[in-house]
């Protein structure tokens, strides 16, 4: 999840695609890497990054329609394009191919959450955690549960799940951000400020605009306005 790591990953995925243009998995993971640039707000041209992501994901599915990871990658791009029905269909296709694929349950949960169905998303994130509690991406699963509960206004549960997410050693600024927002709404201001400080340590340019350009990419059900409000209570001044 480091800047250097993402750049290096994209370079190697691109090289793999060049060495074997018919290697579906390389195209799928290249799509995922471009998607991360958008969700973490580290691209100067989100539109271009999304174009690169969908091109790679569509190529992966075209090369191997029975690769669950390819369908997941395409569904993940559709979420960012706010094409939630198509995202759900791709995640369900991935699960029909691999019913134990933790990332597809996580992806399905995201598609449901950001299409305005937070209650339906919760079982999907819980399934992802049960299937792969030690995944290198495992911080994202409790983090997304925190987002679902935040959208439901259940700030105690949201804070609890965010606090689990921040325990993962490769967690970026986002789970700290959501923890700070939920704790801010709960009036637990000392804890909220501590989480906000940790978020700022991981993202020195942290501001309301940063939050809107990252969380806000998921559309009108992202809860971004209430997140910013919670962060203001936690002490966000920029």
C-alpha–C-alpha distance, residues 31 and 143, integer Å: 22
Q: What is the mean pLDDT of residues 221-238?
A: 93
pLDDT of residue 169: 83
pLDDT of residue 81: 93
Is 80 found in the same domain as 147? no
Taking alpha carbons only, the member of 205, 195, 116, 131 closest to residue 158 is: 195
Q: Is the pLDDT of residue 161 over 80?
A: yes
pLDDT of residue 133: 82
CA 179 centroid distance within chain: 15
Q: For 37-64, what is each residue's pLDDT tens digit?
A: 888 777 888 889 999 999 999 999 999 9
Q: What is the mean pLDDT of residues 218-225?
A: 90
Q: What is the mean pLDDT of residues 58-85?
A: 96
Q: Quote the tokens at residue 115.
A: 């299409």
Is 145 found in the same domain as 95? no
Judge whether 169 lies within some domain.
yes
Judge whether 8 lies within some domain.
yes
C-alpha–C-alpha distance, residues 113 and 126, integer Å: 13
Is 160 found in the same domain as 78? no
- Rounded to the nearest integer, the mean pLDDT of the chain is 92
Judge whether 128 lies within some domain.
no
Q: pTM above the 0.95 mark?
A: no
Label residue 87 by pLDDT band (50, 70, 90).
very high
Q: Where in the sequence is the domain holding 27, given as residue range(s)?
A: 1-99
Q: Quote the tokens at residue 105.
A: 């349950």
**Residue at a domain's end among 66, 82, 99:** 99
Q: What is the mean pLDDT of residues 165-177?
A: 89
Is 73 found in the same domain as 21? yes
C-alpha–C-alpha distance, residues 180 and 182, integer Å: 6
What percentage of residues in the chain have a pLDDT greater than 90?
A: 75
pLDDT of residue 1: 60
Domain count, the chain: 2
Taking alpha carbons only, the member of 61, 24, 80 closest to residue 213 is: 80
Contacts for 220 with CB less than 8 Å, ≥ 6 apart: none
Q: For 102-140, what is each residue's pLDDT tens digit?
A: 999 999 999 999 999 999 999 999 999 999 888 777 889
């Amino acid at each position: 999840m480091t800047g250097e790591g993402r750049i290096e990953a994209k370079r190697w995925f691109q090289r793999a695609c060049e060495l074997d243009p018919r290697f579906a998995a390389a195209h799928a993971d290249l799509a995922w890497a471009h998607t991360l640039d958008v969700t973490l707000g580290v691209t100067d041209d989100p539109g271009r990054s999304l174009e690169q992501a969908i091109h790679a994901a569509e190529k992966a599915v075209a090369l191997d329609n029975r690769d669950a990871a390819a369908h997941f990658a395409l569904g993940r791009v559709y979420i960012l394009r706010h094409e939630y029905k198509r995202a759900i269909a791709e995640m369900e296709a991935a699960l029909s191919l691999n019913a134990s694929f933790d990332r597809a349950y996580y992806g399905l949960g995201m598609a449901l959450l950001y299409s305005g169905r937070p209650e339906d998303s919760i079982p999907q994130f819980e399934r992802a955690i049960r299937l792969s509690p030690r995944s290198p991406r495992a911080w994202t699963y409790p983090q997304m549960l925190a987002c679902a509960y935040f959208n439901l206004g259940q700030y105690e549960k949201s804070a609890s799940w965010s606090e689990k997410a921040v325990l993962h050693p490769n967690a970026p600024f986002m789970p700290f951000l959501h923890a700070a927002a939920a704790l801010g709404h709960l009036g637990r201001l000392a804890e909220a400020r501590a989480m906000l400080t940790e978020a700022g340590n991981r993202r020195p340019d942290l501001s309301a605009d940063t939050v809107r350009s990252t969380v806000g990419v998921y559309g009108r059900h992202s809860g971004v306005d209430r997140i910013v409000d919670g962060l203001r209570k936690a002490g966000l001044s920029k």
